[in-house]
């Protein structure tokens, strides 16, 4: 054993050993919300907790294809370290990986001892601290969709949709799920204890939605992050591909990442109830709720950069997609960017439908909460809610329709970036603008098909 464990750590290790666990997978989210990790033998967990695990900071700046993007603090600084320490309060056995437990991690800069500037989890903590200063405790319920694919050597991508069934929206069972993927996945995720409640097919036979319980915002982000990682890992185990890409297929709709948000008052230790509810207020909503809606509307162009963070994200937008591309809100109206579900009392909340499934859960929740807080502090009322079916540009302004425009909107929204932090914002903008540059230099399949034969 490489260090003398504290009594608390010794208890964790004894419990893990009793459960037959000899490896701890220490995991943290990178800038785009994918998991970075190291497997630590149980006997060496004390050293990992005491001294931390060294990772290269430029991992935050690494593209999905493994290229290090030139973001300040990485290549230009000589590829320095970050220090990653297990958060043992998040330990959970992996039901599909015998002998392995997983935990999240806290990430610091060893030169300063402070959280790493790009750490998504710490960014969300900072935003939540600002909310607490104003007596608000955000409560979040995530909803995520994804596509399941099977191998297809004849396809240019090497993958095809797992099921070609049509007309199966809001169904479950074997009609479009011949291998019982959904049922098996629900049971495994239940045993992982991340708050999974239910699941069903979405509009496409290979698209699934699995719902998570609502909780405080940090726990919700942790659980959404672990959910996405688990879904992808379970698919890999079966030789399949689960993707949270915004729009993977031309002839199918995209995958969303909807957030249900309410707030409890943090001023009463026993809980002051849902601060979004007010039976006497307009629409049964409190001033806090209405101001929060106004804040989301005001900062929506900038928020799009976090909610729709890839070049592909904007393929999901457009008429009749049920993906919001106008800045509006409505009462139980799914064609609006912000939907107010019909529940009131303890269920009073709004549903932000802007995000797509590729969004980093920590950044999406941090940006949404920051925009809502700005609305509460400004105290402005939202315009009249949308009536009827939306997507009418005469009634509402358009969101940015591509990633460059969204990044420009984020950079210009100094109120929002002041809360998110200038170091994080600079890193995120540099990383994503490099993504755009790489895409703009790439020759796509569409271009070859369109031009090669005739030109």
C-alpha triplet 375, 376, 382: angle, nearest 5°: 55
What's residue 51's pLDDT? 95
- 368 neighbors 315 (Cβ within 8 angstroms): no
Span 210-265, pLDDT tens digits: 999 999 999 999 999 999 999 999 999 999 999 999 999 998 999 999 999 999 97
Closest C-alpha to 105, from 167, 31, 53: 53
Q: Which of 255, 418, 366 is nearest to 33 (CA)?
A: 366
Q: Is 210 helix (H, G, I), strand (E, B) or coil?
A: strand
Q: What is the mean pLDDT of residues 344-366?
A: 97
Confidence band, pLDDT 50/70/90 cuts, at residue 268:
very low
DSSP 316: S
pLDDT at residue 3, rounded to an integer? 58
Per-residue model confidence (pLDDT) at position 271: 43
pLDDT band at 270 (very low <50, low <70, confident <90, very high): very low
Tell me the three state secondary structure of residue 412.
Answer: helix
pLDDT in tens, 31-47: 999 999 999 999 999 99
User: Residue 411's closest CA among 297, 300, 305?
Assistant: 305
Q: Supply the DSSP string of 430-448, one letter for each residue.
A: HHHHHHHHHHHTSPPHHHH
- Where residue 390 falls among pLDDT bands split at 50, 70, 90? confident
- CA separation for the pair 244, 254 (Å, rounded): 9
The Cα 202–Cα 33 span in angstroms is: 23
User: Which residues make Cβ contacts (< 8 Å) with residue 53, sequence separation at least 6?
Assistant: 26, 38, 40, 83, 84, 85, 105
Residue 308 zone, left/alpha/beta (φ > 0; ψ -120 to 50; rest): beta
Find out whether 265 and 137 touch, Cβ atoms under 8 Å: yes
Which pLDDT score is estimated for 1?
46
For residue range 341-352, list pLDDT tens digits in order: 999 999 999 999
421-454: pLDDT as tens digits: 999 999 999 999 999 999 999 999 899 999 999 9
Residue 393: both structure tokens together: 């540009």
* Full-model pTM: 0.95
Backbone angles phi and psi of 216, in degrees to 5 = -60, 155
| Mean model confidence pLDDT for the chain | 94
* Per-residue pLDDT at 269: 45
Residue 150's SS3 state is strand
């Amino acid at each position: 054993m490489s260090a003398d464990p504290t009594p608390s750590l010794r208890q964790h290790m004894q419990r893990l050993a009793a459960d037959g666990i000899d490896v701890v997978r220490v995991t943290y989210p990178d800038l785009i919300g994918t998991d970075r990790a190291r497997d630590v033998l149980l006997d060496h967990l004390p050293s990992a907790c005491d001294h931390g695990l060294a990772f290269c900071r430029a991992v935050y700046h690494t593209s999905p294809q493994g290229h290090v993007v030139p973001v300040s603090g990485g290549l230009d600084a000589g590829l320095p370290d970050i220090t990653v320490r297990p958060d043992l309060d998040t330990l959970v056995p992996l039901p599909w990986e015998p002998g392995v437990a997983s935990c999240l991690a806290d990430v610091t800069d060893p030169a300063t001892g402070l959280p790493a500037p790009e750490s998504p989890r710490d960014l969300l903590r900072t935003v939540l601290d600002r909310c607490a200063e104003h007596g608000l405790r955000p409560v979040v319920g995530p909803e995520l969709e994804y596509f399941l694919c099977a191998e297809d050597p004849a396809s240019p991508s090497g993958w095809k949709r797992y099921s070609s069934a049509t007309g199966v929206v809001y169904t479950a069972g074997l009609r479009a799920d011949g291998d019982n993927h959904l049922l098996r996945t629900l049971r495994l995720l239940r045993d992982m204890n991340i708050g999974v409640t239910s699941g069903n097919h979405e509009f496409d036979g290979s698209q699934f939605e699995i719902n998570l319980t609502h909780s405080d915002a940090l726990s919700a982000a942790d659980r959404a992050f672990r959910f996405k990682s688990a879904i992808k890992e379970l698919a890999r185990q079966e030789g399949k591909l689960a993707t949270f890409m915004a729009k993977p297929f031309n002839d199918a709709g995209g995958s969303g990442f909807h957030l249900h948000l309410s707030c409890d008052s943090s001023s009463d230790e026993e809980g002051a109830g849902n601060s979004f509810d007010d039976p006497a207020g307009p629409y049964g909503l409190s001033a806090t709720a209405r101001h929060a809606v106004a804040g989301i509307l005001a900062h929506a162009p900038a928020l799009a950069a976090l909610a729709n963070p890839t070049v592909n994200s904007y393929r999901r937008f457009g008429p009749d997609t049920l993906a919001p591309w106008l800045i509006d809100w409505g009462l139980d109206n799914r064609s609006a960017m912000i939907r107010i579900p019909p529940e009131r009392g303890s269920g009073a909340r709004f549903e932000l439908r802007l995000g797509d499934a590729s969004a980093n859960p920590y950044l999406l929740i941090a940006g949404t909460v920051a925009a809502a807080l700005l609305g509460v502090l400004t105290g402005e009322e939202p315009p009249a809610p949308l009536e009827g079916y939306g997507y009418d540009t005469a009634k509402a302004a358009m969101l940015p329709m591509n990633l460059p425009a969204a990044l420009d909107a984020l950079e210009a929204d100094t109120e929002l970036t002041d809360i998110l932090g200038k170091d994080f914002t600079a890193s995120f903008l540099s990383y994503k603008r490099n993504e755009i540059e790489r895409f703009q230099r790439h020759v796509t399949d569409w271009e070859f098909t369109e031009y090669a034969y005739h030109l």
